Chains A and B, each alone.
Chain A
Amino acid sequence: MAAAATCGSVAASTGSAVATASKNNVTSFQRRGPRASGTNDSGPRLVSIAGTRPSVRNGQLLVSTGLPALDQLLGGGLAVGTVLLIEEDKYNIYSPLLFKYFLAEGIVNGHTLLVASAKEDPANILQELPAPLLDDKCKKEFDEDVYNHKTPESNIKMKIAWRYQLLPKMEQIGPVSSSRFGHYYDASKRMPQELIEASNWHGFFLPEKISSTLKVEPCSLTPGYTKLLQFIQNIIYEEGFDGSNPQKKQRNILRIGIQNLGSPLWGDDICCAENGGNSHSLTKFLYVLRGLLRTSLSACIITMPTHLIQNKAIIARVTTLSDIVVGLESFIGSERETNPLYKDYHGLIHIRQIPRLNNLICDESDVKDLAFKLKRKLFTIECITKLRSYDLRSQIYFLSRHLQRKFSIKKNPYFKEPHTLKKIY
């Protein structure tokens, strides 16, 4: 990625993972000094950045989204230099959670944060971050909440419901150490104050900044977007995330979080009118943001109320300009709330797009029916493909003919006794 190329070479944290790096030294990733071929190159030993790991497929640098289950579905994590777009659920209940997990992951890993919002003061957002679940403290609580999806029997070959073995296993929850790539968070507790204060963060609260006299180049975006872009570009340049500032040698990731982008609070009218005057403002913003991210060591999460956008064409364009697009659909208030198939879950999660970066193919997950639930403390994502119909009547299975042949039972052929599958088991 161009990001790392401008910052000098960023070593993969495990030298062997850069298997596809070419011999011509054109890629931006180089192996660490001692493991390189016998030549005496690459003087100083490069330190790998905390909280990142190289992708298995192409050595791309990845950061965790804060949800290990989501990382697994996205092919390992969010690539540095890319945008994760979350399409908000209807009442905006679960998308702030994903937003906060992303920021909390940044604090736990020591990354720099940039939080932008037009609705809430970033300082308040940071106060409400969930607390990380670390090693020994919560092992007992884990055993209660343990994710019970055929874990003990997974090693035994299934005889009857053998097709379930073909389903991919979701991430098992377990106690984590702080040096691991993805962490689990307790949504009922708050992040300890000392961790927040020790972190380096910048806030952009639109009502405060809109009246400030920050020097802004004329541009055809709405003023809110222009100021935000200028702010982001300032931070990236000042703190050296793009490697262009010779005084600053930055070896950290900037995590940018933008909340409710596209909502009327940002001064944009795409949620209000179908063909407003500013219909290109949002897409231009995303384009310039993409340019900023590709040339710096940063990753961005954006939540957007796409269900409010009147013009469907804009949603398609926004999807093209973002890298990863994840849609949340909660069951609250919809007819699915009473559907027995969905009774354990709070909503569906759709992975709409995964980027193909530095590659012809991408790590698309085979599982397409995913649902999430917020279970007391943890946000889990599960696959809900059931291999038999959930309709009660089709579970009734007529066995009399089979039993007749098997046990030579002479029965009245007009008397059919229905058996459910449970009785067979």
Chain B
Amino acid sequence: MFVELNNLLNTTPDRAEQGKLTLLCDAKTDGSFLVHHFLSFYLKANCKVCFVALIQSFSHYSIVGQKLGVSLTMARERGQLVFLEGLKSAVDVVFQAQKEPHPLQFLREANAGNLKPLFEFVREALKPIDSGEARWTYPVLLVDDLSVLLSLGMGAVAVLDFIHYCRATVCWELKGNVVVLVHDSGDAEDEENDILLNGLSHQSHLILRAEGLATGFCRDVHGQLRILWRRPSQPTVHRDQSFTYQYKIQDKSVSFFAKGMSPAVL
């Protein structure tokens, strides 16, 4: 969790909003630091987290998590974190026939199916245990990243349906949060990705967009972060608030500053 980003978003682990969909988006740069931020943020907020990690292995998140102060192995052991490792599961699904439906069942199908098994997995992971005591505050679904599902043969509509179901269950029914990462392909003319990104942008309450600098590579400023607060249920009553900051990623934290105010320049 990056303290400076918490300040910019005006939240702390104790009093975060519930029932929100946060969209993380990156264009021409790598936005995975935002995923690490939210993962450690919600683990520190004592939430039950279901992490669908499609693009990297568990140890990658675990090692970065340690730099940010959370231990993913411990969280997994005590049941706070349900981790779906996409890469490992894909190898299992493709090379061995599965008896029961697997979350990544669609890898075996020739034509574009739907993500129902994946949704069942998420629902199963986040459903509240009726054991009496409430150990965790609220459930959170984290997906890294959705664009990979398009590469694996899913249509944009199927992915939007999946997010819709997840939102209905996690945000509305269980009063939790959903955080997803989508890549913005920019000028690569990826129509499916654009449909997905636009569809999610209209549904989300908070959009964090990490962009590379328009002028190219810079050693001291790694990119620009645009924060946009939205209220999808009240269309254009109030103006959406938007802020832009530039950032530099360091070994264990990210520092944010106003545009042009990088410490290297001043």
Q: Which residues in A have some Cβ–Cβ distance to B below 8 Å? A: 1-2, 5, 22, 24, 26-28, 58, 217-220, 229-230, 233, 280, 283-284, 287-288, 290-292, 294-295, 312-313, 315-317, 320-321, 356-361, 364, 366, 368
Residue numbers in B under 8 Å from A317 (CB-CB): 147, 150-151, 190
B152 and A356: CB pair below 8 A?
no
Q: Which of A280, A288, A290, A320 contacts B94 (CB 8 A)?
A: A288
- Contact residues, B25-70 vs A (CB, 8 A): 30, 32-33, 36, 55, 57-60, 62-64, 66-67
Residue numbers in A under 8 Å from B185 (CB-CB): 313, 316
B63 and A287: CB pair below 8 A?
no
B96, CB-defined interface residue at 8 Å: yes
Q: A291-B87, A320-B151 are in contact. List 13 more A-B contacts (CB 8 A).
A: A2-B57, A22-B66, A24-B71, A229-B95, A280-B151, A291-B88, A294-B57, A294-B88, A313-B185, A313-B191, A313-B193, A317-B147, A360-B36
A220 and B91: CB pair below 8 A?
no
Residue numbers in A under 8 Å from B67 (CB-CB): 360
* Chain A min CB distance to B182 (Å): 11
B95 and A312: CB pair below 8 A?
no
B217 and A368: CB pair below 8 A?
yes
Complex Cα distance A364/B73, Å?
30
Residue numbers in B under 8 Å from A24 (CB-CB): 66, 71
A321 and B33: CB pair below 8 A?
no
Number of A-B contacts defined by CB within 8 Å: 127
Closest to B57 in A: A2
Residue numbers in B under 8 Å from A312 (CB-CB): 188-190
A28 and B193: CB pair below 8 A?
no
Asked, given contacts A313-B185, A360-B251, whether A26 binds B73 with beta carbons under 8 Å apart, the answer is yes
* Chain A min CB distance to B29 (Å): 11
Residue numbers in A under 8 Å from B64 (CB-CB): 358-360
Complex Cα distance A153/B36, Å?
46
B153 and A217: CB pair below 8 A?
no
Residue numbers in B under 8 Å from A321 (CB-CB): 148, 151
Output the residue of B67, B71, B151 with the most chain A CB within 10 A. B151
B10, CB-defined interface residue at 8 Å: no
Asked, given contacts A24-B66, A288-B90, A360-B254, whether A220 binds B153 with beta carbons under 8 Å apart, the answer is yes
Residue numbers in B under 8 Å from A356 (CB-CB): 30, 32
Residue numbers in A under 8 Å from B59 (CB-CB): 1-2, 5, 27-28, 358
In the complex, 22 of the A-B residue pairs with CB atoms within 8 angstroms, ordered by the A residue number, are A1-B60, A2-B60, A5-B59, A26-B62, A28-B59, A217-B94, A217-B97, A219-B108, A280-B151, A284-B152, A295-B88, A312-B190, A313-B188, A313-B189, A317-B150, A320-B151, A356-B30, A358-B60, A360-B33, A360-B67, A360-B250, A360-B252
* Chain B min CB distance to A262 (Å): 14
B107, CB-defined interface residue at 8 Å: yes
B188 and A295: CB pair below 8 A?
no
B250 and A361: CB pair below 8 A?
yes
Residue numbers in A under 8 Å from B216 (CB-CB): 368
Residue numbers in B under 8 Å from A229 (CB-CB): 94-95
Asked, given contacts A316-B190, A320-B151, A361-B251, whether A290 binds B63 with beta carbons under 8 Å apart, the answer is no
B251 and A320: CB pair below 8 A?
no
B249, CB-defined interface residue at 8 Å: yes
B73 and A360: CB pair below 8 A?
no
Binary CB contact string for chain B from 73 to 114 against chain A (1 if under 8 A, 0 otherwise): 100000000000011101100111100000000011111000
Residue numbers in B under 8 Å from A316 (CB-CB): 183, 185, 188, 190
Output the residue of B32, B66, B71, B193 with the most chain A CB within 10 A. B66
B60 and A357: CB pair below 8 A?
yes
